[in-house]
Structure 1
Amino acid sequence: MVSPDRELTRPLLGVLFLGALIVASFWILRPFLAPAIWAAMIVVATWPAMLWLQASLWRRRSLAVAAMTVILMLVFVVPLVLAVGTIVSNADEIGERLKSFSAFRMPPAPEWLADLPFIGPMLVQAWQQAAAAGVEGLAARLLPYAGSLTKWFVAEAGQFGFLFVQFLLTLILSALMYARGEVAASAVQRFALRLAGERGEHAVQLAGQAIRSVALGVVLTAVVQSTLGAIGLAITGVPFAALLAAVMLLLCIAQIGPSPVLVPAVIWLYWSGETAWGTLLLVISVVVVTMDNVLRPILIRRGADLPLLLIFAGVIGGLLGFGLVGIFVGPVVLAIAYTLLKAWIEERAPEA
């Protein structure tokens, strides 16, 4: 007869060994976890597009994988390189513009501003206070926050090289997943089925819907808006169009919209006397801003219905927790958790 101590020791040592093996595996694969998660999200979201390309390219999976890899490179790597190149090549011009900004003096408030109902007098008063303080007063107010903001920007800028390497790893892993997507999906479904039965398999399907919802309803809309906005900035001659396009992409993903970039650009063109270009950019800006209310609902219906506050929290939390990669990973993780929690709450208890 086996003693109780021996019966307890064997499963305990087995669990400890298995736990140590899992922790060691994750520790070894830690540099590849973020690119692997990102690649999985991209592949799940764009899998229908890859199948369409495969059907169009003589049903050759290799050609479809190559085409999708090139498209991902154009979408992710090229904008990053253009933004960094713009900053490096125009560093001197940016410094000169910042120096000339110190001599800027605000004009008197326009007359129509005071005629606005409810908020007109407050806006005029704020305008007058800003004009009286000048750039020096504004700089003095922003000085306490400048140190922290500069440290954060330097830290993030120092990660551009590491981020570029992660982009390359993501492209490589995405190509591998495209090539063996059916096998990987079957393995994930079998694991979920083994772990939680039919509920686990259903959870995998809901997670895929959440990923597609974020990719189509949020990321794709942001890419379209920032691309059209960048074309408008480049046509009208606004400086640093590539850098402003990258800022627009981040703002659109965060559900803030492209207005914080496009509105000042339109004002700057009118201020510089470029009335025709300013009017053209104004028309483009109206189209780009209103596109959010038309394109995103159409795309988001293809996936799960997600609240915008959840996406915003995912973008901000992902940025603070994981850096620039978290802008994409954060909303997807929260969307998956929200979808699974909602499905679990709405699931009816089995009949007695």
Structure 2
Amino acid sequence: MTTFHRPRDIPQILLSVLFLTLIIVACLWIVQPFILGFAWASTIVIATWPVLIRLQRILFGKRALAVLVMTLLLFLLFVIPIALLVNSLVDGSLPLVHAITSGELTPPDLPWLNSIPLIGAKLYGAWHGLLDMGGAAIMTKVKPYIGTTTTWFVGQAAHIGRFMLHCGLMLLFSALLYWQGEKVAWGVRYFATRLAAKRGDAAVLLAGQAIRAVALGVVVTALVQAVLGGIGLAISGVPYATLLTVVMIFSCLVQLGPLIVLVPSIIWLYWSGDTTWGTVLLVWSCVVGTMDNFIRPVLIRMGADLPMILIISGVIGGLIAFGMIGLFIGPVLLAVTWRLFDTWMREVPPPSDNPEEVLEELEAIEPDRDNQPK
């Protein structure tokens, strides 16, 4: 019996692909306002899932109570500090904005220049000579640029409401994921298995381990260093300790470390004549600045056994490519790719430890090919 193969209907295939593409684009367009909040919630829930399970055991096995406690903790740890920080920044910037807009901004006197050994008096005299010759003219030329910069910063306040909205969505999605975490994880693994069989499932599991490793090794380490550094700043009497602590958090997240804030603070304390607290902060900074070398490797290996260079490259590259959410996306992508590539390589036997045997086998094969009839 002869079987006739029906030719492929190319227009039908193209229209089907186009229809599926339109559906996917339309769905992404609809959920686009919620993607950032859901991404933050997913990373937080994956990183803190063991804490939820432990709380559920403590709270008599009640998932609802554990979800309520975790949501309140997220509210206390994220929303309230961010709201207080934004409020302090706005209140602190109002005098500067008023001084610039009213024309009351004048060049500073800089009396601390006299305290610099050997060259302090000369620097102070040169600075005042510059102000006497054209200080007003200098400020007249600089004020437009300062005003433009201030206007830009004020314009960024429009993004504060959007950021707080994402925080609210993060809390909502976190509560939902805490409540139905097992079902969501099973659905994601099922979808990955449908796409790439066991490799897809392995990729999802590796992504979860990488997220937990980054959250423990990068975020927790940054928070510990920044909080301890902020305590040192507050005790030493450095002004704007809260704002400097926030700066330290970001500098630690991008792997610059807390010393970028602590060292200028130490210098300021010594210049102001407070050598006792300057020495205390110097010793404390040595402890805070080096503790990440001990904490980070231990915390990362609690989530996944990943190379340190992979985590650091993913954090910095992800931050540059995707913004703050790239702190998690970058290391996760690199970790999953590296683990899958490593698994793919190990599917074959490893090469011989003796290179001479390999060369001898190759030389034995080549004469056999030369003796074959052509």
**Normalised TM-score (structure 1):** 0.80
Summarize the Cα distance change of 1:144–1:294 in structure 2 as closer, same or farther, 3 Å threshold. Answer: farther
Quote how far apart the aligned CAs of 1:83 are: 1.6
Contact 1:229–1:262 (CA under 8 A) maintained in structure 2: yes
Measured against aligned partners, the alpha-carbon deviations of 1:214-270 in whole angstroms (never above 9, x if no partner) come to 111111111111112222222333222221111111100000011121222222223
Q: Which segment drifts farther, 47-56 or 191-200?
A: 47-56
Measured against aligned partners, the alpha-carbon deviations of 1:168-195 in whole angstroms (never above 9, x if no partner) come to 1111101110110000000000000001
Q: Which residue of 1 aligns with 2:345?
A: 348
Matched AA of 1:57: L
Summarize the Cα distance change of 1:4–1:83 in structure 2 as closer, same or farther, 3 Å threshold. Answer: same
Q: Which residue of 2 aligns with 1:71?
A: 73
Secondary structure of 2:76's match? helix
Summarize the Cα distance change of 1:338–1:242 in structure 2 as closer, same or farther, 3 Å threshold. Answer: same
Secondary structure of 1:273's match? coil
Q: Which residue of 1 aligns with 2:330?
A: 334
For residues 176-255 of structure 1, the aligned pairs below 5 Å read: 176-255=176-255
Q: Which residue of 2 aligns with 1:103?
A: 109
For residues 151-166 of structure 1, the aligned pairs below 5 Å read: 153-154=153-154, 156-166=156-166
Q: Which segment drifts farther, 208-217 or 187-196?
A: 208-217
In the aligned structure 2, how far is the partner of 1:52 from the partner of 1:134? 62
Matched AA of 1:38: W
Contact 1:79–1:246 (CA under 8 A) maintained in structure 2: no
**Normalised TM-score (structure 2):** 0.76
Quote how far apart the aligned CAs of 1:47 are: 0.8
In the aligned structure 1, how far is the partner of 2:335 from the partner of 2:147? 39
What's the RMSD between the two structures over aligned residues?
A: 3.4
* Aligned pairs, number: 326
Matched AA of 1:32: F
Matched AA of 1:104: L
Matched AA of 1:15: V
For residues 15-54 of structure 1, the aligned pairs below 5 Å read: 15-54=17-56
In the aligned structure 1, how far is the partner of 2:320 from the partner of 2:146? 20
- Which of the pair has more CA radius of gyration? 2
Contact 1:232–1:281 (CA under 8 A) maintained in structure 2: yes
Secondary structure of 2:345's match? coil
Q: Which residue of 1 aligns with 2:270?
A: 270
Contact 1:251–1:258 (CA under 8 A) maintained in structure 2: yes
In the aligned structure 1, how far is the partner of 2:216 from the partner of 2:126? 45
Quote how far apart the aligned CAs of 1:13 are: 2.5
In the aligned structure 1, how far is the partner of 2:152 from the partner of 2:271? 32
Measured against aligned partners, the alpha-carbon deviations of 1:290-347 in whole angstroms (never above 9, x if no partner) come to 22112111111222334223322222333xxxxxxx32x1122111221222123321
Contact 1:254–1:316 (CA under 8 A) maintained in structure 2: no
Summarize the Cα distance change of 1:62–1:129 in structure 2 as closer, same or farther, 3 Å threshold. Answer: farther
Summarize the Cα distance change of 1:257–1:30 in structure 2 as closer, same or farther, 3 Å threshold. Answer: same
Matched AA of 2:42: A
Matched AA of 2:110: F
- Segments of structure 1 that go 5 or more residues without pairing to the other structure are 112-123, 319-325
Summarize the Cα distance change of 1:225–1:94 in structure 2 as closer, same or farther, 3 Å threshold. Answer: farther
Measured against aligned partners, the alpha-carbon deviations of 1:114-144 in whole angstroms (never above 9, x if no partner) come to xxxxxxxxxx9xx99988975989x99x999
Summarize the Cα distance change of 1:296–1:240 in structure 2 as closer, same or farther, 3 Å threshold. Answer: same
- Segments of structure 2 that go 5 or more residues without pairing to the other structure are 132-137, 350-374
Contact 2:114–2:121 (CA under 8 A) maintained in structure 1: no
Q: Which residue of 2 aligns with 1:322?
A: none
Matched AA of 1:348: M
Quote how far apart the aligned CAs of 1:350 are: 5.6
Summarize the Cα distance change of 1:183–1:85 in structure 2 as closer, same or farther, 3 Å threshold. Answer: same
Match of 2:88 among 64, 80, 86: 86
Quote how far apart the aligned CAs of 1:275 are: 3.3
Q: Which residue of 1 aligns with 2:313?
A: 309
Contact 2:314–2:332 (CA under 8 A) maintained in structure 1: no
Matched AA of 2:88: T
